[in-house]
Each structure stands twice: as structure tokens, then as C-alpha cells.
């Protein structure tokens, strides 16, 4: 479709070579592309918390015939088997949406959070409605987590084809005592992080940080006026419709000398 519109598509790993050029590399060769204007739209990826054992599980159970022990938005919708017991780490809108969905599909769901309520960024009355409905559906909540200690898998114990997982944590009201919970899969819903590494943004004079991503002004220009950015790589509002709105601004400003501003705070 892109080629029919006259768009040249280069498949490979892209990184900036200078303030006005990009290198696109495959296993066999690299192609240098010069530009007058460019747009960074590399998106984001699920943020995996630094819980001992969690990243190892995500790596060890990420392919082949093994069912994923650690679920994120990238592999969740590829499931063909329902985990009987599901832990959800994260109490934001996405975590709550998926917790309720899996509970209604038949999983036994437990949601863990550090605060004393869900959806802290939302209005308290709305959060209360969601909480009460999820409780009515059968979702269990564990609030006041002070520290997630570790996650280990017992590969000898299987529920279907899921390994049995043991999540150890400490609660605020338990002092140093550890609590242990057993599950078949863990859904991580603790936010996303921007894809900024490996782009060699320093060579393009584009300012960024690992948490906020690419830094842009209200016209979505980066610190290099030739380069713009859109979507999860530069926005705290990580939704498809927001990325679409931002992309329309960049098209106008980069290609048609527009001065349209991003009205989102």
C-alpha cells in the first residue's frame, strides 16, 4: 500500500548517523539516507519492574512451546490457553480492564498494588465504581505492597502447560514478614517505556531521557529542528488516538510549514 502511494520503504535497523542522515542496516549491508525532515515514531514497550526473577521468567518463557509466564500487552493476545490463576501487578486502567476480563473468562485473578486504591490518577468516585464492580466479579485485591521480593517458577508443577509461579512480597502492615502467592501467570501492567535506545540520538543532537523519551516542544519538534517525534516515544498519553492526533500535527508542521501546536499538556 505504501509503495502504491509512492513511499520508499527500507526494512532494517535504523539509527541516526548525523543531524541530517539515518543509517538503515540489515545483516548484509547498510544504506545511508539523507533527509530534510524526519520523524521519530518508534513507540514504546512494556515496562518490566525490577523484581528479582521476573525478567528471567519473561526471557525463559518467551517462545517455542512454552506458555508465557510473564504477560504484557505484547504477548497477552496470543494466548490460546487460559491461565487458571493470574496475578496482575499494576492497578491502573489497563491492569483493571484486563483483570476483570480474565476473571470473567474464568481465571482466578489477584491484583497487587502499592497504594491503598486503584487508578490513582483517576477521579476517586470513578475508581471506586471500577473497584466495586471488579470485586463483584470475583477479583481479589492486595494493597499496600511495600516490596516485591522475588518470583520463582517450579517447572515440575504445571497447570495445563503453565509453570507454577511463586510471588513473594512484603506488605506495609506486616513489617519484614514475607507473603507468598502462587499463580500460573503474571500480567505486568506497570506502564510503558519509550524506545529511544539504539537510535544514536546523540549523533542527531536530539535530547531524550529513558523515562520521558524524546523531548519535544509544542510543535512536536525535537532539539534538532529537522526532526520531529510522535506517539509513545515522546508522549505521556500512550494511546493510539493520541498518536494519530500528533501525527497529523507533524505532517502539517514538517511538510507544509505549519505552526500547529500540540494542545495536550
Residues in the chain: 265
- Nearest C-alpha neighbor of 199 from the set 234, 251, 237, 240: 234
d(Cα 150, Cα 198) in Å, to the nearest integer? 29
Q: Per-block average pLDDT, block size 10, for the chain (265 residues)?
A: 85 96 96 97 94 89 70 89 95 95 98 95 94 98 95 80 90 78 95 94 97 95 97 92 95 87 74
d(Cα 103, Cα 99) in Å, to the nearest integer? 6
Question: Which residues have C-beta within 8 Å of that of residue 229, sequence separation ≥ 6?
Answer: 39, 40, 41, 213, 214, 216, 220, 222
H or E stretch at 247: helix 240-255
C-alpha cell at 250: 507533524
d(Cα 216, Cα 254) in Å, to the nearest integer? 14
The pTM of the full predicted model, rounded to 2 decimals, is: 0.84
pLDDT of residue 265: 61
Pairing of strands 108-112, 85-89: parallel
Amino acid at each position: 500500500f505504501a509503495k502504491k502511494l509512492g513511499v520508499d520503504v527500507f526494512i532494517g535497523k535504523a539509527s541516526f548517523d548525523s543531524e541530517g542522515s539515518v543509517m538503515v542496516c540489515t545483516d548484509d549491508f547498510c544504506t545511508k539516507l539523507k533527509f530534510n525532515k524526519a520523524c521519530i515514531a518508534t513507540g514504546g514497550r512494556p515496562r518490566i519492574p525490577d523484581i528479582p526473577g521476573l525478567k528471567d521468567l519473561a526471557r525463559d518463557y518467551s517462545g517455542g512451546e512454552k506458555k508465557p509466564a510473564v504477560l504484557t500487552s505484547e504477548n497477552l493476545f496470543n494466548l490460546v490457553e487460559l491461565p487458571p490463576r493470574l496475578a496482575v501487578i499494576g492497578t491502573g486502567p489497563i491492569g483493571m480492564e484486563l483483570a476483570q476480563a480474565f476473571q470473567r473468562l474464568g481465571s482466578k485473578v489477584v491484583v497487587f498494588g502499592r497504594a491503598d486504591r486503584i487508578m490513582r490518577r483517576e477521579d476517586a468516585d470513578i475508581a471506586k465504581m471500577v473497584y466495586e464492580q471488579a470485586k463483584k466479579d470475583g477479583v481479589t485485591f492486595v494493597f499496600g505492597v511495600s516490596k516485591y521480593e522475588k518470583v520463582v517458577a517450579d517447572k515440575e508443577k504445571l497447570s495445563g502447560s503453565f509453570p507454577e509461579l511463586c510471588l513473594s512480597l512484603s506488605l506495609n502492615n506486616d513489617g519484614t514478614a514475607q507473603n507468598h502467592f502462587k499463580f500460573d501467570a503474571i500480567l505486568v501492567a506497570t506502564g510503558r517505556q519509550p524506545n529511544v535506545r539504539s537510535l544514536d540520538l546523540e549523533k542527531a543532537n536530539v535530547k531524550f531521557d529513558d523515562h520521558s523519551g524524546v523531548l519535544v516542544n509544542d510543535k512536536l519538534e525535537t532539539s534538532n529542528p529537522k526532526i520531529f517525534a510522535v506517539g509513545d516515544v515522546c508522549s505521556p498519553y500512550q494511546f493510539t488516538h493520541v498518536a494519530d492526533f500528533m501525527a497529523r500535527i507533524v505532517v502539517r508542521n514538517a511538510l507544509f510549514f505549519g505552526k500547529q501546536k500540540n494542545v495536550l499538556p
